[in-house]
């Protein structure tokens, strides 16, 4: 880390999904919430868990596991909701665990390795190797593409 002093650092929040470590910039994170009561919103993709009341603001919640087509998991003690602000509104992201804030020198962030069949590749903006940990940097732009009109024909 000594070298990092000269290079610009990026503060990130590290969270876990399926025992892998992911990171998003601290600047977009508003807060981290433990369990809050979520109201289901009908006719949404399965990864949209619903909305919750975040201090008077109705905030949608996305389950990142399901967003990345991973095996779903019940909300448990270590689970938490990271509230990020994106495109002028706030969205909650359900993750397995979030427990670390790190400085990542921008120099160690590289493009993600080309892996054939990597499902979530479009959601990733890069990979950072810090010490022995490999952090996957999320591309929020893609992850939080607005849910457009869901039309129902049957009535």
Partner 1 sequence: MDTNQYLDMFIEESKEHLQACNEQLLALENNPDDLGIVNEIFRAAHTLKGMSATMGYEDIADLTHKMENVLDAIRNSKISVTTEILDVVFEAADDLELMVLDIEAGGNGKKDVSVLVDTLNRIEAGEPLDLEENASIAATTEESATAVVTSSGIHYDDFELTVISQSSEQGFNAYEITVELREDCLLKVARVFMTFEILEKSGEVIKTVPTVEKLENEEFDQNFTIVLLTHEDADDLKAKIMKVSEIEEVRIKHITDEYIKKYKQIEFEQHDEQPQEKPNIADTLPAATEKAKAAPKEATQVKKTNHASSNKTIRVNIDRLDILMNLFEELVIDRGRLQSIASELHNPELNESVERMTRVSGDLQNIILNMRMVPVETVFNRFPKMVRTLARDLNKKINLEIIGAETELDRTVIDEIGDPLVHLIRNALDHGIESPEERIAKGKPEEGTVTLRAYHSGNHVFIELEDDGAGVNRERVLGKAIERGIVSEEIAPTLSDRQVAELILASGFSTAAAITDVSGRGVGLDVVKSTIESLGGHISIDSKEGKGSLFQVQLPLTLSIISVMLVELDQEIYAIPLSSIIETAIVQKSDILNAHNQPVIDFRGTIVPLVDLKEIFEMENRREEEDFQSIVIVRKGESLAGLVVDSFIGQQEIVLKSLGNYLQSVFAISGATILGNGQVALIVDCNALIK
Angstrom CA distances, 39 to 50, 59, 61, 95, 114, stand at: 5, 10, 9, 18, 39
Q: Which is nearer to partner 1, 31 or 78 (CB)?
A: 31
Q: State the nearest-atom distance from the C-beta of 85 to partner 1, in Å.
A: 11
Q: State the nearest-atom distance from the C-beta of 82 to partner 1, in Å.
A: 14
Report the residue count for the chain.
155
Output the DSSP codes for 25-55. EGGGEEEEE----EE--SS--TTEEEEEEET
State yes or no: residue 10 binds partner 1 (CB under 8 A): no
Binding mask 66-105 for partner 1 (x = CB under 8 A): --------------------xxxxxx--------------
Position among 31, 53, 78, 118 found at the interface with partner 1 (CB under 8 A) = 53
Contact 28, 85 (CB under 8 A): yes
State yes or no: residue 144 binds partner 1 (CB under 8 A): yes
Q: Which residue stretch of 6-14, 21-29, 69-77, 139-147 sits at the interface with partner 1 (rule: CB under 8 A)?
A: 139-147
Backbone angles phi, psi at 140, to 5 degrees: -60, -35
Q: Which is nearer to partner 1, 14 or 140 (CB)?
A: 140
CA gap 35, 86 in Å, rounded: 21
Say how far residue 38 (Cα) sits from the centre of its chain.
18
What residues line the site for partner 1 (CB under 8 A)? 37, 39-44, 48, 50-53, 56-60, 62, 86-91, 144, 146-152, 155
């Amino acid at each position: 880390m000594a070298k990092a002093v000269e290079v610009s650092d990026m503060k990130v929040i590290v969270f876990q999904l399926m025992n892998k470590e992911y990171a998003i910039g601290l600047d977009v994170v508003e807060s981290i919430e433990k369990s809050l009561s979520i109201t289901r919103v009908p006719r949404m993709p399965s990864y949209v868990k619903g909305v919750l009341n975040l201090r008077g603001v109705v905030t949608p919640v996305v389950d990142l596991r399901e967003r990345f087509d991973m095996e779903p998991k019940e909300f448990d003690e270590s689970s938490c909701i990271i509230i990020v602000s994106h495109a002028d509104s706030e969205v909650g992201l359900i993750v397995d665990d979030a427990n670390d804030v790190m400085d990542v020198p921008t120099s160690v962030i590289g493009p993600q390795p080309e892996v054939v069949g990597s499902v979530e590749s479009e959601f990733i903006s890069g990979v950072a190797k810090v010490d022995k940990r490999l952090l996957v940097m999320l591309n929020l732009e893609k992850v939080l593409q607005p849910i457009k009109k869901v039309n129902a024909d049957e009535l």
